[in-house]
Structure 1
């Protein structure tokens, strides 16, 4: 895996191919829009969707915790997808994962889905915060447009960038960063994405397989 080292708000951070941000000085890992139980919510409505997304999300977190020295994991909103996401199998999987990482500090900054789904079980020992949650120069949020005292790290948008080469097009998750805020791609395995174009003064970082590439001269698809 090849992360992209960059500086935000005067702090060195790593943008990770697993669609997360690592702040080494604080040993902090930030992930956005994991949407646990989204597939279960769809199935509860009678929509046939694949199983195993919760296990896939937890395995992705485990890989990051093995690769990086993490003391604090911050979820940038939308931890549970909906009230129907509180299925027994989903909550049991989360409980088993938490039991494997008892010393890990967990913080959830409430997003719009969290307001409907409700807070996760207290047994998961997740500190709950309303946005903005400010630590050092950063304000951890769900909504990127929030007026916050620090440099905003947020999610919500599920940004992807569409590359075009002739008649072929490829949609890749991306990070977007400007002088005041950075938007993380959705971490969840069943979340989809919304095509974005970088605005003036905004940097684009593409998640391309096992690496993150800073935007240089990519051509956007229509």
Structure 2
């Protein structure tokens, strides 16, 4: 897999094809919008959706931790999707994963879904903070337009970029890198995406799942 390294506030950040950012100096992995329990929330309303998304997300997270050597995972909001995410099956899977990863530091910057869902169970050992959560020159947030003292890393938007020809179009998750903030794509496997319109000064990095590529943003879209 091919990643891309960018500079943000003098720090080297690695944009990973698996839709996450790694900060090597801090051995910190930033994940946005994993939305554990979203499928369970849909099923609670009688909507038939696939099972196994929690396990899929945890497997993807494990692969990233092993690949990077991260010792700190920081969730940029929307760790839980709704109160239905506290369902026994979802919680059991999270607890089993946490027991396997007991030495890992976990931090959650609360997002809008977390406020409705309620905090994760204490037994998961997650440090809970409000935005902005600032470490050195970087401010970790859920909302990208929040006033913060440092360069902002945020989620919330679930950005995708549309690559179009005359005959076809492809929506791919993307990182949006601006002068003062970066928006990460949604990490969750069942979260959808929002086609973004780049602003002046934004750089777009799409991910195919195998590689990250810089694309020339069309500001007139």
Report deviation, 1:124.
0.4
1:71 aligns with 2:71: yes
1:93 is aligned to 93
Report deviation, 1:219.
6.6
Q: Deviations over 1:34-56 (max 9, x none)?
A: 00000000000011111110000
**Alpha-carbon distance between aligned partners in 2 of 1:64 and 1:209, rounded to the nearest angstrom:** 12
Task: Structure 2 unaligned segments of length 5 or more: list them.
Answer: none
**Alpha-carbon distance between aligned partners in 2 of 1:106 and 1:84, rounded to the nearest angstrom:** 22
1:2 aligns with 2:5: no
2:205 is aligned to 205
Helix, strand or coil at the partner of 1:102:
coil
1:172 is aligned to 172
**Alpha-carbon distance between aligned partners in 2 of 1:13 and 1:168, rounded to the nearest angstrom:** 33
Give RMSD over aligned pairs.
Answer: 1.4
**How does the TM-score come out when normalised to structure 2?**
0.97
After TM superposition, list the pairs within 5 Å mapping 1:1-222 onto structure 2.
1-216=1-216
Q: Deviations over 1:158-187 (max 9, x none)?
A: 000011122111000000011110000000
**Alpha-carbon distance between aligned partners in 2 of 1:5 and 1:113, rounded to the nearest angstrom:** 30
Helix, strand or coil at the partner of 2:172:
strand
User: Hey, which bits of structure 1, 4+ residues long, moved more than 3 A?
Assistant: none
Helix, strand or coil at the partner of 1:189:
coil
> How many residue pairs get matched?
221
**Alpha-carbon distance between aligned partners in 2 of 1:162 and 1:215, rounded to the nearest angstrom:** 11
Q: Deviations over 1:19-39 (max 9, x none)?
A: 000000000000000000000
